[in-house]
Structure 1
């Protein structure tokens, strides 16, 4: 029986699955890791220990559980957080830590510089959207300006899965779905790199080859086989961003299907049958030729619950038991958290505010409030941020046909229920290992285990439907008004507080 391997490198952990030809998970493994925050607004990963080390550890653990699997393995697919920016030299050695996706907000000045040099209208036509912290191009410009020695030695700028796939096969190729977020250096009109009018020194040679996520990029080299335990010659796919891979794992591949990912941040993907342009959403090709998406993302979701969990029990290290306790605490507090209101912007906000300087807050605290009320307020705040991102699709005339809720955060039913209560949308929960399973689906499709895209749904089964509680609509409508008012009214205070930060 053929087996496929999928591995996903996330913000806080690496996950992997071995899946047989019927879609059954034979083994799964996860390895936690941490994000480096060298200064406010700068979020990074060590590519050797977090990305490559995480991949190797997960693969070796899976192979140890199924000793014969390496010989039966039909294909490998990898997904990763993105778009990240990692400069490597000609030998493939990282030159610095990888700069993470939109949660890293360091390149605000470079966004302004690129807008002025290229023109906002041209960027919108080229990239299909405006530049934000989710754009990788300004972060490359940041390295050029603030770390010129690193830029001068950079042979290629890579993202997460491209780095791992390159280590496996000796070829550096990035999927179109990720490349599209390297705006303004990727042109969605031509599906190719475009450096016209770039004020910096970036060259096309510093950008990797382009390919589709479902294509085979190469085969495991002997040195990669020695490092990982995989068999030399095993096919390896181009790879995918984690969010589209997670969407695929939930059966999101038809027009107006939507994924709402409950992870360290919220990420939203709506699949479309034709390309769209949007100033507030992020268009890109999807995983396959002639498929498209619009995406949105918040900056903080599960990372807010992790922050609070670490305050409650720092020695627990973000364990599943601690998250379960947090969900129980939130469930013990009534909707509305007994008049306690939180703002979740611990690392700024993306859709729809695009405010890297936004910060978190708790308002209404009294001696009557307990840990459960704070937990409920935290959960409701991130539900409001998700609802704000979803409303952006409604405002553009693209309400979803169905929402599939995916990710580890779906275990917190208070969180998922609050999103439905606030938005009025039902959600179908698809449980499972998420993006790693989507990677396995891509691998199975590439080698013929699954018969093309139409057959992918055979591996997907929604488990639960969360219906909105209409009786809570007035409470959450009022809470939404206060949530938005709290952000607006405290924003000048946040700016003033930033001036008091210790250099």
Structure 2
């Protein structure tokens, strides 16, 4: 029997699975790490410790616990948070912490500069995406302008998955889905690097482009010694975690929408055509000829972690989320008139405002922790509805919604999202998420599975039906108005406010 192995590097935790040919999980492991916030608007990871260190730990733990022989692993696939920006030297050694995806808003000045020099319409036409905090190009320019001593030593720019794949195989590669977030240096129409629009970097600094299930290389002797894997084991190119999550729950047809409940809400809608809307993101999908339209909030699971740490320190840490969920469930929909703007790290889609601020509005002396936590969950759900409304306005309403991620265990959050968006959600049997999707992609890469086999690997376990609540019908327009009416105040507070 040939097994496949998948590992996903997340914002706060990395997870891995080993699965057999039928998709049965035979081993799982996880390892937490921290998101480094050196100043407001910045978000970083340590590439060696958090990305590669987690990968090594998880693989060794799974091989130990499962007793699967290394040579029985048919292929390895990795996904990770993205898109990130990591400069490395000629030896592939990181020169600084990895700069994270859209939750890191440090390159706002560079976005404004590029938009002024090139023109927003030209960038959108060339790259398929407007420049936002999700784009890597402005972050490369930030590095060049603000860290000249690091830039002088930079040989290549990698993302999180690229770094792990390089450590495994010695190959510098990136998949097209991830590369599309490197606007404005990715040409969406030609699906290739194109650095002529702006003086950001040259193409030799960027990884080689592949599709996600192409074999990037094989486990090197050095990586085998570190991980315990067999030298010569095939390694796929990999992808961003959200894409692997979508694969894990069966998103494969146009109209399928994946909603990932993780450190952020991330949404992927598969399409049979390129859809260009500056409020959303576009990418080639994981396979040639397919497309994806994406959206993401800036703080979701991250916000629930913040709330737990600040307002539930009295609860045992391993029970805190369950207790908070129970307190929120005891509060009726609408949180007794309390609204929460969940923009605690600015916001990504659809408003793309790094200066947006978080807020609780409507507090009175009858409100307690349960109302506040419910308002947090409902605020995230309202921001999610803003996104799904934007998809519909762009002419791409979902045909099927597939929910995945750790947040699916929170019944209040899941139900509030269905109720506010008016969309039923399907929850699959396996919610291991991206790591499970990686294992399936590895199986595809070596011909051990067909795309349609995911329905047998991971069938639907339950469905969340949308319910109309008068409180939500009243509060959602107020939520939208609250942001608009406080936007100028938030801007005046600035990045440090």
What is the aligned partner in structure 2 of residue 482 from structure 1? 478
SS at match of 2:181: coil
Task: Map 1:386-465; keep pairs closer than 5 Å.
Answer: 386-430=384-428, 431-450=430-449, 452-465=450-463
Contact 1:75 1:447 (8 Å CA) reproduced: yes
What is the aligned partner in structure 1 of residue 178 from structure 2? 178
SS at match of 1:489: helix
What is the aligned partner in structure 1 of residue 47 from structure 2? 47
Task: Map 1:230-379; keep pairs closer than 5 Å.
Answer: 230-314=229-313, 319-379=317-377
What is the aligned partner in structure 1 of residue 29 from structure 2? 29
Contact 1:117 1:199 (8 Å CA) reproduced: no
Contact 1:3 1:69 (8 Å CA) reproduced: no
Task: Map 1:37-116; keep pairs closer than 5 Å.
Answer: 37-116=37-116
- Taking a change above 3 Å as real, the CA distance of residues 367 and 315 of structure 1, as seen in their structure-2 partners, is closer
TM-score of the two chains, using structure 1 as the length reference: 0.96
Counterparts of 1:27 and 1:316, CA distance in 2: 31
Structure 1 unmatched runs, 5+: none
- Taking a change above 3 Å as real, the CA distance of residues 65 and 499 of structure 1, as seen in their structure-2 partners, is closer
Counterparts of 1:467 and 1:149, CA distance in 2: 55
Q: Alpha-carbon deviation of 1:264?
A: 0.8
Contact 1:310 1:316 (8 Å CA) reproduced: no
Counterparts of 2:5 and 2:354, CA distance in 1: 37
- Taking a change above 3 Å as real, the CA distance of residues 315 and 85 of structure 1, as seen in their structure-2 partners, is farther
Counterparts of 1:500 and 1:375, CA distance in 2: 25
What is the aligned partner in structure 1 of residue 162 from structure 2? 162
Q: Alpha-carbon deviation of 1:12?
A: 0.6
Counterparts of 1:406 and 1:456, CA distance in 2: 14
Q: Alpha-carbon deviation of 1:114?
A: 1.3
Which segment drifts farther, 233-242 or 68-77?
68-77
Q: Alpha-carbon deviation of 1:313?
A: 3.9
Which segment drifts farther, 177-186 or 325-334?
325-334
| Deviations 1:328-356, CA, capped at 9 Å, x for gaps | 11111111111111111100011111110
- Taking a change above 3 Å as real, the CA distance of residues 195 and 315 of structure 1, as seen in their structure-2 partners, is farther
Which segment drifts farther, 349-358 or 66-75?
66-75
Q: Alpha-carbon deviation of 1:468?
A: 0.9
Structure 2 unmatched runs, 5+: none
Contact 1:255 1:271 (8 Å CA) reproduced: yes
**Which of residues 476, 490, 493 in structure 1 aligns to 2:489?**
493
Counterparts of 2:174 and 2:385, CA distance in 1: 31
TM-score of the two chains, using structure 2 as the length reference: 0.97
| Deviations 1:279-336, CA, capped at 9 Å, x for gaps | 111110111111110000111111111100111344879x552221221111111111
- Taking a change above 3 Å as real, the CA distance of residues 499 and 147 of structure 1, as seen in their structure-2 partners, is closer
Counterparts of 2:130 and 2:494, CA distance in 1: 26
Structure 1 runs, 4 residues or longer, greater than 6 Å off: none
SS at match of 2:151: helix
